[in-house]
Structure 1
């Protein structure tokens, strides 16, 4: 008997669910007469079901049967004290342009909060569902006044955002986060839709003033954290550092946040700020590994900024650090960097090779050994000892199959073969790398494969390609002037070949490295004018935009070029960055 009852019950539930689906489909498709019949049947079976009540009311309203909707709601209110039904009743009057009765019922709903402030959530949502935002604001504010422990600031912030009342929105989010620390990151994401990378943007100024006032009136490290975040969005890393120091000095815990800020400042091309932060890390860290990493990053930046006269001081700094911390596994980054410095800056390749080969004798993991071998291979390529370099790259591939560093080594095998003029072997390696899990390696491999493939087919002797490969090697060897001059040979002697666009691009990049931006600009303009259908057109447009934006201080010209990427080259890898930078120049919010 019990089994029969259960089966009947389950069957009736299934039928009920099917009827509900049918009713929803009728309503969705605009078949309101049929929807009305279905919802009347469903509601008759369960007159306390609020979903069926609401759907039945909406259906009557779609059919302009306002009196029927009114009677339905009044009967429901006689049955149950459910304030959102008052809002539905008020909205039903509003649809008939009866604003007096509409407002009477809205206020009845709000008045329920005097005795039951916990009703605010459902009352506010009901108002919001009909875009009655002022009434929703009144609801949430009144509930918090009647019962202060309630917090509807998140809902208020969202509404103020919809209304465009930015200051009230910011204040509401801040007030919400005051007692809800776990939502700080969520609130930052909300803020990012309204602020700009331009620190002078009105919204940025409003938010900065609100946070500064909080820091003054109710000191809490979360406000320093939020202010630091705002400064980072504005790329004002020095001010962000001030806030991060305040947080660190109060907590005296990890330096991870400050280290992350230093790395951001470095990648965003603010080396002086990055250096200041790394010095702070070196001076304050008790962790040897963090201290060593700080020294390593300082030397890396100083080397990039240095001229020949600074090399002696940098060399002494490396030697002092290696003496202080030892030549062990924990100083591998320093050792590799010093080997690179000896070879690529002091031109002491023999000393660099000897130094790094000694590092291979230290007890190290396979990944650390691979990193040393990768640098050794690069130095041997610098020396044009290609076969010996290939041995090291191949050893990495065998020792760490399918790893990112193994794929990087395979790419270097292809690049070395290309430098040698062995284009066939280079292509075979590049073909494998096209499916690399490392996107950067896969992109580099594709670029080189296209360069070889396009130009090998056009010139059976591969004369221009061999000259280009030699120029590429000279650039790798830091012989920029020799590389530029050799590239000129291609531009003079191979004017009609496909490699010309690539040559102009490579030469422009070298001009940029030498800070000869006008010359770089001329090359990019030649590509844009003469190779409109070529695959390098977006590279040239984006690079030229960057020069105008960051070097020549002509933001309007940069904006036009970013816009060109957005509207004419939507499949470009520069599309996302161009859109972001275009909006920043226009003064839009970040998102």
Structure 2
């Protein structure tokens, strides 16, 4: 019983102690330093905790009672002779305005490092606490010079960052990385706060020069890795490729990094570099899946800007690859790619469907079967055989429930119903998809639902919406010029109706696809001028800015448009990207 009572009393005392500490910290944060001082003194009497002692000194200093804090620090120094206390005492003199005494104690503390280098970290940290950064750097350097086992490069990098000395910051991180290669990922994260997409940025130039020097001195893999990373930040994918090839020669076991760079180049529309990388992959890979993947991307790139003669060449290449590698589970991606090419680019939907149906006879998983059926359904939509397409999409939903491909199939059910003019059914499906776990599908579903709900009641026959859906279908069928013509009909016959801005926007995107950039600019500008308060205003601003930046070489116009999004469309999905591009065009470092 006595033990229980004793335990209860100890717990109660601990609880009261914790409450007093919270109370003292609260007083200090609110600037009630008299109350904080009394509470910290009470806590220190109970536990002699060094943290409370430091808070007593800080409270006295805040109250400008420097003589009292000096007395306490002198007593502590007499008892412990611990050098960081010399820094505290020096700082107390500095607060009093006695800089000579302050410097004297600072120098005494630094001199103690010569006697015992193990003091260096504690002394330097105390200098950092008081923002005496030059003194801290001096101590860190002295400590490392006296004991080669010490490495304070990270601490020094932090100080150089506070001072704005970016070159020394980079150098310190690189020094640390040389001794600790596992720090590479952390180094990239640290550097990302200082480098920009703009290769002319001074910080980029400094880091590039330092890395090239390191490579010349000692060509270790992490220097190649960092230099490749820097070139990727600058969107110089061809230069990154040079570094990645050097890395691969040192470790030829995996092409994963080079494949990732190829896909990054592709996403950034640097087709020339992507083609070079995929060809390099073909030359160096023995893995069939990797080889087939490279072939597929190369064929896709060839098709994008193909004329009739090129299409014949692509067809021959597909057939040669299928003959070489056969029709089996390994070449499934190639088979789907060929089916897509035949239908959507060579206008042979029947041949494409027949070819893909043969693939269904292979021993496939339910997901592989779903992929083929998805492409077969897409081809049926291309042929405007909507009901047959809906059967395939519904089969996918039933066979692979709760998967991403199932949700994609549900969206395509809604889109197909929209193409055929069944707007109510499409809208009901889109309401469900708004909660999709795939953000991309959820966004597409919301966008299409808003289009339908905003325009289906415009007139009882839904004429304009049906024309718009037909133009959308033509875009899907790669019949872009016909889609543009149909949208012109909407803009002429339904001018002033709610669908006008949607038609202008879709037509602008088709103008871009067909390289009619001036017409695309005109459409975006018309939306901005006449629909600045409507839902597509931020889209028009962003894509017009992108055109000026990437296609028309007018960065100042692009910068002005991105700025419009930043100030007038803070809730836009383009806000973050617009701010990033604006800052990059202005020459800022981009985090």
**TM-score tier after normalising by the smaller chain length:** over 0.9
1:81: which partner in 2?
Answer: 81
Q: 2:407, 2:377 → 1: CA distance?
A: 14
2:126: which partner in 1?
Answer: 126
Within a 5 Å distance, the mapping from 1:360-509 to structure 2 comes to 360-509=360-509
Q: 2:422, 2:253 → 1: CA distance?
A: 55
- Cα offset, 1:12, TM superposition: 3.2
Within a 5 Å distance, the mapping from 1:105-144 to structure 2 comes to 105-144=105-144
Q: 2:23, 2:194 → 1: CA distance?
A: 42
2:265 is paired with a residue whose SS is helix
Provide the aligned length of Structure 1 versus Structure 2. Answer: 590
Within a 5 Å distance, the mapping from 1:571-590 to structure 2 comes to 571-590=571-590
1:518 is paired with a residue whose SS is helix
1:15: which partner in 2?
Answer: 16
- Cα offset, 1:37, TM superposition: 1.5
1:458 is paired with a residue whose SS is coil
1:572 is paired with a residue whose SS is coil
Q: 2:431, 2:109 → 1: CA distance?
A: 69
1:167: which partner in 2?
Answer: 167
Within a 5 Å distance, the mapping from 1:550-565 to structure 2 comes to 550-565=550-565
Q: 1:352, 1:377 → 2: CA distance?
A: 11
- Cα offset, 1:196, TM superposition: 1.1
Deviations for 1:179-228, whole angstroms, at most 9, x for unmatched residues? 11121111111111111111111111111110011011122111000101
- Cα offset, 1:245, TM superposition: 0.6
With structure 2 as the length reference, what TM-score do the two structures score?
0.98
1:100: which partner in 2?
Answer: 100
With structure 1 as the length reference, what TM-score do the two structures score?
0.98
Q: 1:359, 1:92 → 2: CA distance?
A: 82
2:570 is paired with a residue whose SS is coil
1:281: which partner in 2?
Answer: 281
1:355: which partner in 2?
Answer: 355
2:531: which partner in 1?
Answer: 531
Q: What root-mean-square deviation, in Å, do the aligned CA atoms of Structure 1 and Structure 2 show? A: 1.2
1:567: which partner in 2?
Answer: 567
- Cα offset, 1:473, TM superposition: 1.1
Deviations for 1:523-581, whole angstroms, at most 9, x for unmatched residues? 00010011111100001000100111011111000001001111110110111110111
| Dislocated runs of 4+, deviation >6 Å | none
- Cα offset, 1:313, TM superposition: 1.2
Higher mean displacement: 549-558 or 118-127: 118-127
2:277 is paired with a residue whose SS is helix
1:337: which partner in 2?
Answer: 337
Q: 2:297, 2:112 → 1: CA distance?
A: 63
Which runs of no fewer than 5 residues in structure 1 stay unpaired?
none
2:248: which partner in 1?
Answer: 248
- Cα offset, 1:45, TM superposition: 3.2
1:297: which partner in 2?
Answer: 297
| Structure 1 position 34 matched with structure 2 position 35 | yes
Deviations for 1:402-422, whole angstroms, at most 9, x for unmatched residues? 211111111111111111111
Deviations for 1:206-265, whole angstroms, at most 9, x for unmatched residues? 111100110111221110001011011011111111111111111111110000000000
2:457 is paired with a residue whose SS is helix
| Structure 1 position 317 matched with structure 2 position 328 | no
1:199 is paired with a residue whose SS is coil
